[in-house]
Structure 1
Amino acid sequence: MRRRIAAAAVAVGLLAAACSSGDSDSKETRPTRKATTSTAVASDVSPLTGLPQDAATKGRPALIVKIDNAPKGRPQYGLGAADIVVEEGVEGGITRLAAIFQSKDAALVGPVRSARSSDLHIAVPLDHPLFAYSGTNSNFQALIDRAPLVNVGINKLGSAYHRDKRRSAPYNLFSSTPLLFKGTPAGAAGAKKLVDIGGAESAGAGTPVTKLDVHWVDKVRTDVTWNWDGSKWSRIQNGTPVIDASGLAITPRNIVTLFVNYVDTGERDQSNSAVPEAKLVGTGEAWIIRDGTLIKGTWAKPAEESPIALADSRGAKIALLPGQTWIEMPAPGNGSVA
Structure 2
Amino acid sequence: MRRQLAVLALLSFCVAVLTSAFPSFAYGSPADIRRRIGETRTEIRELERVLAALEQAIRTRAAHVSQLERELRNTEAGLTRLRGEVSAARSRFDEANRVFAGRLRSVYMQGSLSYLELLLGAASLGDLVVRWTYLRRILQHDSGVIDAVQREQSLLRERALTLESETQRMHALRQQRDAERRNLLAQEREKRAVLAAAQGRLAVDLALITPQAERRPVYGVILDNAPQARPQHGLANAAMVYEYEVEGRITRYLALFSSFPAKIGPVRSVRSHSAMLALEHGVHLVYAGGGLDVLDRIRGWEVQGTDALRSQSNSFSRDGSRRAPHNLYVNLATLDLHSPSTQMVIRPAYLGRQGAQGLRIELEYSPDYRITYQFVEEKGAYRRHINGQVHRCAAGTVIYARNVIIQYARHGTDLLRRPTPDLVGEGDIDFYALGEHFRGRWKKESTNSPTRFYFLDGQEIERVYGQTWIQIVRAR
The residue that corresponds to 1:138 in the other structure is: 292
Partner of 2:372: 225
Residues 213 and 226, structure 1, Cα contact 8 Å, conserved in 2:
yes
Does the CA-based 8 Å contact 2:213-2:346 persist in structure 1?
no
| Distance in 2 between residues matched to 1:266 and 1:245, nearest whole Å | 35
> In the aligned structure 2, how far is the partner of 1:88 from the partner of 1:197?
28
Instruction: Give the match's secondary structure for 1:256.
Output: strand
Q: Give the distance between the partners of 2:419 and 2:346, measured in 1 at CA.
A: 29
Contact kept, 8 Å, 1:201 with 1:317, in 2: the verdict is no
Opposite residue 413 of structure 2, the aligned amino acid is D
Select 1:302's aligned residue among 424, 433, 445.
445
* Aligned position for 1:283: 426
Q: Of 301, 314, 317, which aligns to 2:457?
A: 314
Contact 1:126 1:192 in 2 (8 A): no
Give yes or no for contact 1:310–1:318 (8 Å, CA) kept in 2.
Answer: yes
Could you say which residue in structure 2 is the equivalent of 1:170?
Answer: 325
CA distance in 2, matches of 1:131, 1:332: 27
CA distance change for structure 1 residues 189 and 241 in 2, over 3 Å: closer, same or farther? closer
Aligned residues: 263
Write the mapping of 1:27-66 to structure 2, written as runs, cut at 5 A: 51-52=212-213, 62-66=218-222
Q: CA deviation at 1:191?
A: 8.8
Answer whether contact 2:351 2:464 (CA < 8 A) is retained.
no
- Which residue in the other structure is 1:13 paired with? none
1:67 maps to 2:223: yes
**What is the CA-CA distance between 1:201 and the residue it aligns to?**
8.5
Deviation at 1:77, TM superposition (A): 0.5
Q: Distance between the aligned counterparts of 2:325 and 2:303, measured in 1?
A: 24
Asked whether 1:332 is paired with 2:455, we answer: no
Contact 1:202 1:311 in 2 (8 A): no
Q: Normalised by the size of structure 2, how large is the TM-score?
A: 0.51
User: What secondary structure does 2:400 align onto?
Assistant: coil
Cα distance in 1 between the residues matched to 2:458 and 2:382: 27
Name 1:150's counterpart in structure 2: 304
Q: Is the 8 A contact 1:234 1:250 kept in 2?
A: yes
**2:391 is the counterpart of 1:242:** yes
Structure 1 residues 302 and 116: CA distance shift in structure 2, 3 A: same
Retained in 1: the 8 A contact 2:212–2:347?
A: no
The aligned residue for residue 93 of structure 1 is 249
Say if 1:70 and 1:97 are closer, same or farther in 2 by CA, change over 3 A.
same
Distance in 2 (alpha carbons) for counterparts of 1:200 and 1:75: 30
User: What residue number does 2:147 align with?
Assistant: none
How many Å separate the matches in 2 of 1:305 and 1:131? 15
Q: Alpha-carbon deviation of 1:297?
A: 0.9
Deviation at 1:157, TM superposition (A): 4.7
CA contact (8 A) 1:197 1:319 kept: no
How far, CA to CA, are the matches of 2:359 and 2:466 in structure 1? 19
> CA 1:115/1:285 → structure 2, altered by over 3 Å: closer, same or farther?
same
Query: Which has a greater percent of helix?
Result: 2
What amino acid maps onto 2:224 in structure 1? Answer: D
How many Å apart are 1:88 and its aligned residue? 0.7
The 2-side partners of 1:191 and 1:153 are apart by: 26
1:70 counterpart letter in structure 2: A
Q: Which has the larger radius of gyration?
A: 2
The letter of the residue matching 1:145 is R
Separation of aligned partners in 2, 1:288 and 1:160:
36
The one of 202, 205, 222 aligned to 2:354: 205
Q: For residues 341 and 237 of structure 2, what CA distance do their matches in structure 1 show?
A: 19
Determine if contact 1:65/1:98 at 8 Å carries over to the other structure.
yes
Question: For residue 228 of structure 1, what is the amino acid of its counterpart?
Answer: F
Unaligned 5+ segments in structure 2 are 1-210
Amino acid at match of 1:275: R
Deviations 1:44-70 (A, max 9, x none): xxxxxx8435xxxx67x6211000111
Larger relative CO (CA 8 A, sep 6+): 1 or 2?
1
For 1:222, the aligned partner's letter is Y
Shift in Å, 1:147: 2.7
C-alpha separation in 1, matches of 2:316 and 2:278: 21
Aligned counterparts of 2:212 and 2:319: Cα–Cα separation in 1? 33
User: 2:385, 2:302 → 1: CA distance?
Assistant: 34
Shift of 1:119: 1.0
Identity across matched positions, percent: 27
Per the TM alignment, residue 229 of structure 1 is displaced from its structure 2 partner at its CA by: 2.6
Q: Quick check: 1:224–1:236 contact (8 Å CA) kept in 2? A: yes
In the alignment, is the contact (CA less than 8 A) between 1:64 and 1:100 conserved in 2?
A: yes
- Ranges in structure 1 where 5+ consecutive residues have no aligned partner: 1-49, 268-273, 334-338
2:269 aligned counterpart, secondary structure = coil
Q: Is the 8 A contact 1:197 1:320 kept in 2?
A: no
What is the rounded CA distance, in whole Å, between the counterparts of 1:213 and 1:197 in structure 2? Answer: 30
The structure that is strand-richer by fraction is 1
Considering only aligned residues, what root-mean-square deviation do their CA atoms show, in Å?
2.6
Whether 2:323 is the aligned partner of 1:323: answer no
Aligned equivalents of 2:322 and 2:304: distance in 1? 28
Asked whether the 8 Å contact 1:108–1:246 carries over to 2, the reply is no
Distance in 2 between residues matched to 1:148 and 1:64, nearest whole Å: 15
